[in-house]
Amino acid sequence: MAKILVVDDNQDMREFMEIMLTKEGYDVVCAEDPSKAIALCNKKDFDLVITDLRMPKIDGIEFLKAIKDKKPETIVILITAYASGETAVNAMKEGAYDYVEKGGSIEELKKIVRAALVKKGLLTENETVKKEQAEDTTFGGMIGTSREMIKVFATIKKVADTPANILILGESGTGKELVARAIHENSPRSKMPFNAINSGGIPENLLESELFGYMKGSFTGAYTDKPGLFEMAKGGTVFLDEIGELPPVLQVKLLRIVQEKTFRRIGGSENIKVDVRIISATNQNLEEKVKKGEFREDLYFRLNVIPIRMPSLRERKEDIPLLTKHFIEKYAKEFGKEIRTISSYAMELLMNYAFPGNIRELENIIERGVAMESSNIILPENLVLAANAASGVQNFDIGITDAGIDLNSELGKIEKTIIEKALRKTKGSKTKAAELLHVTFDSLRYRMEKLGVE
């Protein structure tokens, strides 16, 4: 049984932590001040110490140093209501395992404790996974516990075994191809090819040859027979992304495949029969395109047998922490860095961001954040949310010269202007300004200090 020492001068907090950690199966001892905690550590070995940052006489950083000097193998987690990027970095430099804000998610704290004990060797990865299975849901490369994503997962499982054509709807960057692959991999066709193509990313003449293939001599450069995407996917699945961009002449040819399961290569005279499942995707309103005569109605109904709508990231914000954790682990490993987490303020920025580019944009933001971060926790200054800054701010005319601009500096100016406007509106009340900006008081204070707002 892991032995945990909780140090906090607040009795209610100590009692809450003791009850919560005891229920998790740990042996918990509490101390109301660092001096008593140090005395306890001299008498007894603790696997993990969870300590408040601000306490009388000795603060959490000094206590952390004292513990690490005497028992360097002891893992220490800091908890505080006064989080800041500088404090986080100092805590990590002094050997803290992690840094948690008071009032944050209890489940997140439990995960951090379990992860720390895995590192200590007191829990195995399998035990941790079992405890987290009910909390984290992944399916087909997708991550999410939101109601919207659970609904998508359930739909995929229901329709994967059927031969029906499927139309995936959703904004760019929501993961429509992941849905298509999950359907294929959970279907009887999983051992056969999965061929994907972006209907809007290839010129019309090239797209036709890619889809249907061609015969030798059918056009200049056709030196040999070449099978197309449908032919090569025989028995498998063809994924047509951005189907709304398909030219009218190819819509006719696609309709023939859907209806008759046959097609001809360019320059060919023989019908080729093929058994494929067609999954399409679009970020456009196909019904409107049908009304305007830009998309064939008969093809639309043939493709849209079962629609699956992928929610935007704005509609599933509760999944942002899970996705962020996944991308941090991915790029920390790829870049050879020890980054494990993201600061509470940086996470708050992400939670308040509109994500016009959805999951693809979040991944790019985290990739850049991991690449730029020099500590082992991602801080707000290494997150670039340019689209968000631009979308909510009017009358900013930022010229980009041949020499370029400092993006972080320009975004800082925009953020500073917004904060100053909020403070003017609230006649200097930081509490009311924080409410207007939908951030915590501590977050506003941190940003004001960083940007030099008086």
Q: What is the mean pLDDT of residues 315-340?
A: 92
What does the DSSP 8-state code read for residue 380? G
Among residues 109, 112, 135, 107, the alpha carbon closest in space to that of 340 is found at 112
Cα(109)–Cα(115) distance, integer angstroms: 10
Same domain, 187 and 302: yes
| % the chain with pLDDT above 70 | 88
Q: Give the position of tokens 């005395």.
A: 39
Residue 292 CA to residue 296 CA, distance in Å, equals: 10
Mean pLDDT of 209-222: 85
Lookup: tokens for 287? 């019904």
With respect to residue 37, please indicate whether it lies within any of the assigned structural domains: yes
Per-residue confidence (pLDDT) for residue 103, from 0 to 100: 66
Residue type, 66: A
Token output for 110: 């439990």
- pLDDT of res. 313: 94
DSSP 3-state of 397? coil
At residue 354, the pLDDT reads: 87
Same domain, 331 and 354: yes
Domain boundary among 289, 311, 333: 311
Let me know if residue 137 belongs to a domain: no
Q: Please report whether residue 241 resides in a domain.
A: yes
Task: Read off the pLDDT of each residue in 214-225 and give the average, rounded to a whole number.
Answer: 85
Closest by CA position to 124, among listed 4, 5, 17, 2: 2
CA gap 300, 418 in Å, rounded: 46
Over 90: is that where the pLDDT of 5 sits?
yes
Instruction: Give residue 135's pLDDT band: very low, low, confident or very high (50, 70, 90).
Output: very low
Tally of domains in the chain: 4
Residue 152 DSSP class? H
Q: Indicate whether 252 and 307 sit together in one domain.
A: yes
* Final residue before a domain boundary, out of 78, 104, 132: 132
Do 256 and 343 share a structural domain?
Answer: no
DSSP 3-state assignment of 423? helix
Say what the pLDDT of residue 81 is: 65
Full domain range(s) for residue 414: 396-454
**pLDDT, tens digit (0-9, with 9 covering 90-100), for 66-95:** 888 888 888 888 887 655 545 656 677 777
Based on the fold, state whether residues 91 and 226 are members of the same structural domain.
Answer: no
Nearest CA to 318 out of 101, 113, 135, 156 is that of: 135
Question: Confidence class of residue 333 from pLDDT cuts 50, 70 and 90?
Answer: very high
Q: How far is 228 from 272, CA to CA, in rounded Å? A: 11
- Whether residue 157 is found in the same domain as residue 227: yes
How far apart (Å, rounded) are the C-alpha atoms in residues 390 and 411?
Answer: 9
Phi, psi for 241 (deg, rounded to 5) = -80, 150
- Whether residue 407 lies inside any domain: the answer is yes
CATH number where 153 lies = 3.40.50.300
- Between 392 and 355, name the one with better pLDDT: 355
Instruction: Please say whether the beta carbons of 194 and 167 come within 8 A.
Output: no
- Spell out the residues 6+ positions from residue 51 whose beta carbon is closer than 8 angstroms to its own: 6, 7, 8, 34, 37, 60, 63, 64, 76, 77, 78, 79
Structure tokens at 293: 């005569």
Domain-located, residue 239? yes
Are residues 219 and 196 both part of a single domain? yes
Confidence grade of residue 330 (pLDDT, cut at 50, 70, 90): very high
Comparing 347 with 132, the larger pLDDT belongs to 347
> What is the pLDDT at residue 87?
61
Query: Mean pLDDT for the chain?
Result: 84
Taking the C-alpha atoms of residue 214 and residue 225, their distance in angstroms, rounded to an integer, is 6
What pLDDT score was predicted for residue 434? 83
pLDDT at 373 over 80: yes
- DSSP letters spanning 298-340: HHHHHH-SEEEEPPPGGGGGGGHHHHHHHHHHHHHHHHT----
CATH number of the domain that 451 lies in? 1.10.10.60
CATH number of the domain bearing residue 344: 1.10.8.60
Residue 342 maps to a domain:
yes
Q: Render pLDDT for 247-264 as a digit per residue (tens, 0 to 9).
A: 998 999 999 999 998 988
> Among the ranges 47-56, 225-234, 345-354, which has the highest mean pLDDT value?
225-234
Residue 300 falls inside a structural domain:
yes
Residue 19 in domain: yes
Residues 358 and 234 reside in one and the same domain: no
Q: Is the pLDDT confidence value at 19 over 90?
A: no
pLDDT at 228: 87
Residue 203 has pLDDT above 90, yes or no: no
Based on the domain organization, do 156 and 300 belong to the same domain? yes
Domain boundary among 88, 108, 132: 132
- Whichever domain contains 118, its CATH number is 3.40.50.2300
In whole angstroms, give the CA distance from residue 323 to residue 350: 11
236 and 215 in a single domain? The answer is yes
Q: Residue 430: pLDDT above 70?
A: yes
For residues 188-207, give the mean pLDDT: 88
Q: Which residues pair with 342 in a beta bridge?
A: 378
Residues 293 and 402 in one domain: no
Same domain? 301 vs 253: yes
